[in-house]
Amino acid sequence: MDEKILIVEDEKDIARMLDYNLKKEGYRTVLAHEGASAALLAAKERPALIILDLMLPGLDGLEVCRRIRVDAKTAAIPIIMLTAKGEEADKVVGLEMGADDYVTKPFGIKELLSRVKAVLRRSALLGEVLEVYRAGDLELDCSRVLALVKGRPADLTSREFELLKALMTAGEKMLSREALLEKVWGLDASLEVETRTVDVHIGTLRKKLGAEGRRIVTVKNYGYRFEAGKK
Ligand code: CA
Protein backbone atom coordinates (compact mmCIF):
# COMPACT_ATOMS: atom_id res chain seq x y z
CA MET A 1 0.00 0.00 0.00
CA ASP A 2 2.14 2.86 -1.20
CA GLU A 3 -0.45 4.76 -3.17
CA LYS A 4 0.30 8.41 -3.77
CA ILE A 5 -2.06 10.98 -2.28
CA LEU A 6 -2.12 14.66 -3.23
CA ILE A 7 -2.97 16.93 -0.29
CA VAL A 8 -4.29 20.38 -1.26
CA GLU A 9 -4.61 22.51 1.84
CA ASP A 10 -3.52 26.09 2.51
CA GLU A 11 -3.62 25.78 6.30
CA LYS A 12 -0.10 24.58 7.00
CA ASP A 13 -0.93 22.88 10.33
CA ILE A 14 -3.67 20.77 8.79
CA ALA A 15 -1.52 19.97 5.76
CA ARG A 16 1.34 18.84 8.03
CA MET A 17 -1.01 16.76 10.17
CA LEU A 18 -2.48 15.04 7.10
CA ASP A 19 0.96 14.49 5.61
CA TYR A 20 2.29 12.95 8.83
CA ASN A 21 -0.66 10.61 9.37
CA LEU A 22 -0.97 9.46 5.76
CA LYS A 23 2.75 8.66 5.65
CA LYS A 24 2.41 6.75 8.91
CA GLU A 25 -0.27 4.65 7.22
CA GLY A 26 2.15 3.83 4.41
CA TYR A 27 0.95 6.24 1.72
CA ARG A 28 3.21 8.50 -0.29
CA THR A 29 2.22 12.17 -0.30
CA VAL A 30 2.49 15.27 -2.45
CA LEU A 31 1.51 18.69 -1.09
CA ALA A 32 0.03 21.79 -2.67
CA HIS A 33 -0.90 24.92 -0.73
CA GLU A 34 -2.97 26.72 -3.35
CA GLY A 35 -5.31 25.85 -6.20
CA ALA A 36 -3.40 26.70 -9.37
CA SER A 37 -0.46 24.41 -8.63
CA ALA A 38 -2.83 21.71 -7.35
CA ALA A 39 -4.42 21.03 -10.74
CA LEU A 40 -1.01 21.00 -12.44
CA LEU A 41 0.48 18.71 -9.80
CA ALA A 42 -2.46 16.33 -10.17
CA ALA A 43 -1.74 16.01 -13.90
CA LYS A 44 2.00 15.59 -13.34
CA GLU A 45 1.94 13.21 -10.38
CA ARG A 46 -1.26 11.30 -11.13
CA PRO A 47 -2.01 10.46 -7.51
CA ALA A 48 -4.36 7.64 -6.54
CA LEU A 49 -6.42 10.11 -4.54
CA ILE A 50 -6.70 13.86 -3.95
CA ILE A 51 -7.66 15.42 -0.62
CA LEU A 52 -8.88 18.86 -1.60
CA ASP A 53 -9.69 21.73 0.72
CA LEU A 54 -12.63 23.79 -0.50
CA MET A 55 -11.46 27.20 0.69
CA LEU A 56 -8.16 27.99 -0.98
CA PRO A 57 -6.44 31.24 -1.93
CA GLY A 58 -6.58 31.96 -5.67
CA LEU A 59 -8.47 29.14 -7.38
CA ASP A 60 -10.91 27.66 -4.90
CA GLY A 61 -11.51 23.94 -4.40
CA LEU A 62 -14.53 23.84 -6.70
CA GLU A 63 -12.58 25.28 -9.62
CA VAL A 64 -9.67 22.92 -8.93
CA CYS A 65 -12.14 20.03 -8.88
CA ARG A 66 -13.64 21.15 -12.20
CA ARG A 67 -10.20 21.41 -13.85
CA ILE A 68 -9.22 17.97 -12.59
CA ARG A 69 -12.41 16.48 -14.02
CA VAL A 70 -12.10 17.99 -17.51
CA ASP A 71 -8.46 16.92 -17.93
CA ALA A 72 -8.31 13.38 -19.37
CA LYS A 73 -5.13 12.70 -17.41
CA THR A 74 -6.81 13.36 -14.07
CA ALA A 75 -10.53 12.85 -14.71
CA ALA A 76 -10.67 9.46 -13.01
CA ILE A 77 -8.75 10.37 -9.85
CA PRO A 78 -11.05 10.23 -6.81
CA ILE A 79 -11.36 13.40 -4.71
CA ILE A 80 -12.23 13.81 -1.05
CA MET A 81 -13.22 17.39 -0.38
CA LEU A 82 -12.60 19.10 2.95
CA THR A 83 -15.30 21.60 3.87
CA ALA A 84 -15.74 23.81 6.91
CA LYS A 85 -18.97 23.87 8.87
CA GLY A 86 -21.53 26.16 7.25
CA GLU A 87 -20.39 25.31 3.72
CA GLU A 88 -23.32 22.93 3.19
CA ALA A 89 -24.33 24.46 -0.15
CA ASP A 90 -20.75 24.21 -1.42
CA LYS A 91 -20.64 20.60 -0.31
CA VAL A 92 -23.55 19.75 -2.62
CA VAL A 93 -21.94 21.66 -5.48
CA GLY A 94 -18.68 19.83 -4.73
CA LEU A 95 -20.32 16.45 -5.12
CA GLU A 96 -22.01 17.61 -8.32
CA MET A 97 -18.63 18.81 -9.60
CA GLY A 98 -17.29 15.30 -9.18
CA ALA A 99 -15.90 15.04 -5.65
CA ASP A 100 -16.30 11.45 -4.45
CA ASP A 101 -16.72 12.19 -0.78
CA TYR A 102 -16.39 15.03 1.68
CA VAL A 103 -15.25 15.46 5.25
CA THR A 104 -16.34 18.38 7.41
CA LYS A 105 -13.75 20.34 9.41
CA PRO A 106 -12.84 19.92 12.16
CA PHE A 107 -12.43 16.20 11.55
CA GLY A 108 -10.83 13.34 13.44
CA ILE A 109 -7.85 11.80 11.67
CA LYS A 110 -9.30 8.29 12.14
CA GLU A 111 -12.46 9.27 10.32
CA LEU A 112 -10.48 10.78 7.47
CA LEU A 113 -8.21 7.76 7.16
CA SER A 114 -11.17 5.41 6.96
CA ARG A 115 -12.71 7.57 4.21
CA VAL A 116 -9.39 7.51 2.35
CA LYS A 117 -9.31 3.71 2.54
CA ALA A 118 -12.94 3.40 1.44
CA VAL A 119 -12.53 5.72 -1.56
CA LEU A 120 -9.31 4.01 -2.68
CA ARG A 121 -10.91 0.57 -2.38
CA ARG A 122 -13.93 1.71 -4.37
CA SER A 123 -11.82 3.22 -7.11
CA ALA A 124 -9.66 0.07 -7.35
CA LEU A 125 -12.77 -2.09 -7.78
CA LEU A 126 -14.15 0.28 -10.39
CA GLY A 127 -10.80 0.22 -12.18
CA GLU A 128 -10.80 -3.54 -12.42
CA VAL A 129 -14.25 -3.55 -13.95
CA LEU A 130 -13.97 -0.62 -16.33
CA GLU A 131 -10.42 0.01 -17.30
CA VAL A 132 -9.66 -2.46 -20.07
CA TYR A 133 -10.90 -1.82 -23.62
CA ARG A 134 -10.50 -4.21 -26.53
CA ALA A 135 -10.93 -4.14 -30.28
CA GLY A 136 -9.56 -6.94 -32.45
CA ASP A 137 -5.93 -7.51 -31.47
CA LEU A 138 -5.75 -4.19 -29.68
CA GLU A 139 -6.08 -3.91 -25.93
CA LEU A 140 -6.02 -0.75 -23.85
CA ASP A 141 -5.20 -1.30 -20.19
CA CYS A 142 -5.87 2.00 -18.43
CA SER A 143 -4.82 0.96 -14.94
CA ARG A 144 -1.37 0.01 -16.25
CA VAL A 145 -1.38 2.83 -18.85
CA LEU A 146 -0.50 0.33 -21.53
CA ALA A 147 -1.65 -0.35 -25.08
CA LEU A 148 -1.06 -3.89 -26.29
CA VAL A 149 -1.16 -5.23 -29.84
CA LYS A 150 -1.41 -9.03 -29.87
CA GLY A 151 -0.34 -8.95 -26.22
CA ARG A 152 2.79 -6.85 -26.89
CA PRO A 153 3.23 -3.30 -25.55
CA ALA A 154 2.91 -0.73 -28.34
CA ASP A 155 5.36 1.67 -26.65
CA LEU A 156 3.14 4.75 -26.79
CA THR A 157 4.00 8.12 -25.29
CA SER A 158 1.56 9.28 -22.62
CA ARG A 159 -0.07 11.67 -25.13
CA GLU A 160 -0.54 8.90 -27.67
CA PHE A 161 -1.99 6.68 -24.98
CA GLU A 162 -4.46 9.36 -23.88
CA LEU A 163 -5.38 10.03 -27.49
CA LEU A 164 -6.11 6.37 -28.12
CA LYS A 165 -8.03 6.17 -24.86
CA ALA A 166 -10.17 9.19 -25.80
CA LEU A 167 -10.98 7.58 -29.16
CA MET A 168 -11.61 4.06 -27.83
CA THR A 169 -13.81 5.21 -24.98
CA ALA A 170 -15.93 7.48 -27.19
CA GLY A 171 -17.91 4.48 -28.46
CA GLU A 172 -17.43 5.09 -32.22
CA LYS A 173 -18.54 8.70 -31.80
CA MET A 174 -16.77 11.26 -34.01
CA LEU A 175 -14.41 13.50 -32.09
CA SER A 176 -13.36 16.86 -33.47
CA ARG A 177 -9.72 17.90 -33.37
CA GLU A 178 -10.67 20.60 -30.88
CA ALA A 179 -12.41 18.10 -28.62
CA LEU A 180 -9.36 15.83 -28.73
CA LEU A 181 -7.07 18.76 -27.93
CA GLU A 182 -9.15 19.61 -24.91
CA LYS A 183 -9.42 16.02 -23.73
CA VAL A 184 -5.82 14.98 -24.25
CA TRP A 185 -3.82 18.21 -23.93
CA GLY A 186 -6.20 19.65 -21.35
CA LEU A 187 -4.58 22.36 -19.28
CA ASP A 188 -1.47 22.36 -21.45
CA ALA A 189 -3.52 23.33 -24.49
CA SER A 190 -2.45 26.94 -24.75
CA LEU A 191 -2.83 28.99 -27.91
CA GLU A 192 0.41 27.64 -29.33
CA VAL A 193 -0.99 24.14 -29.61
CA GLU A 194 -2.68 23.86 -32.97
CA THR A 195 -5.24 21.35 -34.13
CA ARG A 196 -2.59 20.10 -36.56
CA THR A 197 -0.78 18.73 -33.50
CA VAL A 198 -3.58 16.19 -33.19
CA ASP A 199 -2.99 15.00 -36.78
CA VAL A 200 0.73 14.59 -36.14
CA HIS A 201 0.11 12.48 -33.02
CA ILE A 202 -2.56 10.42 -34.78
CA GLY A 203 0.02 9.69 -37.48
CA THR A 204 2.61 8.30 -35.08
CA LEU A 205 -0.07 6.50 -33.09
CA ARG A 206 -1.35 4.70 -36.21
CA LYS A 207 2.20 3.68 -37.11
CA LYS A 208 2.89 2.25 -33.67
CA LEU A 209 -0.34 0.26 -33.71
CA GLY A 210 0.53 -1.38 -37.02
CA ALA A 211 -2.44 -3.08 -38.67
CA GLU A 212 -4.66 -2.12 -35.71
CA GLY A 213 -4.04 1.55 -36.55
CA ARG A 214 -6.61 1.33 -39.33
CA ARG A 215 -9.34 1.43 -36.68
CA ILE A 216 -8.60 5.13 -36.24
CA VAL A 217 -10.67 6.58 -39.05
CA THR A 218 -10.24 10.13 -40.37
CA VAL A 219 -13.43 12.18 -40.56
CA LYS A 220 -12.70 14.72 -43.28
CA ASN A 221 -12.57 18.38 -42.19
CA TYR A 222 -13.57 17.38 -38.69
CA GLY A 223 -11.51 14.91 -36.71
CA TYR A 224 -11.39 11.20 -35.94
CA ARG A 225 -13.44 8.21 -34.95
CA PHE A 226 -12.52 4.78 -33.59
CA GLU A 227 -14.07 1.80 -35.36
CA ALA A 228 -13.93 -1.17 -33.00
CA GLY A 229 -15.65 -3.52 -35.47
CA LYS A 230 -13.49 -2.69 -38.50
CA LYS A 231 -12.04 -5.77 -40.20
CA1 CA B 1 -8.49 26.49 3.56
Give the predicted TM-score (pTM) of the model.
Answer: 0.58
Task: Give the pLDDT confidence of 180-206 residue by residue, as tens digits.
Answer: 988 888 755 555 677 788 999 999 999
Task: Give the pLDDT confidence of 136-165 residue by residue, as tens digits.
Answer: 889 898 877 889 998 888 999 989 999 999
Gap from CA of 47 to ligand 1 centroid (Å):
21
pLDDT of 72 > 90? The answer is no
Gap from CA of 84 to ligand 1 centroid (Å):
8
Gap from CA of 228 to ligand 1 centroid (Å):
46
Pick the CATH number of 132-226 from 3.90.550.10, 3.50.50.60, 1.10.10.10, 1.10.8.60: 1.10.10.10
Give me the mean pLDDT over the 53-76 stretch. 86
Domain ranges of the chain: 4-128, 132-226
Intrachain domains 4-128 and 132-226 with the same fold = no
Gap from CA of 183 to ligand 1 centroid (Å):
29
Task: Give the pLDDT confidence of 27-37 residue by residue, as tens digits.
Answer: 999 999 999 99
The highest-level CATH class for domain 4-128 is alpha beta
Q: Annotate the chain with three-state secondary structure.
A: CCCEEEEECCCHHHHHHHHHHHHHCCCEEEEECCHHHHHHHHHHHCCCEEEEECCCCCCCHHHHHHHHHHCCCCCCCCEEEEEECCCHHHHHHHHHCCCCEEEEECCCHHHHHHHHHHHHHHHHHHHHHHCEEEECCEEEECCCCEEEECCEECCCCHHHHHHHHHHHCCCCCCEEHHHHHHHHHHHHCCCCCCHHHHHHHHHHHHHHHHHHHHHEEEECCCEEEECCCCC
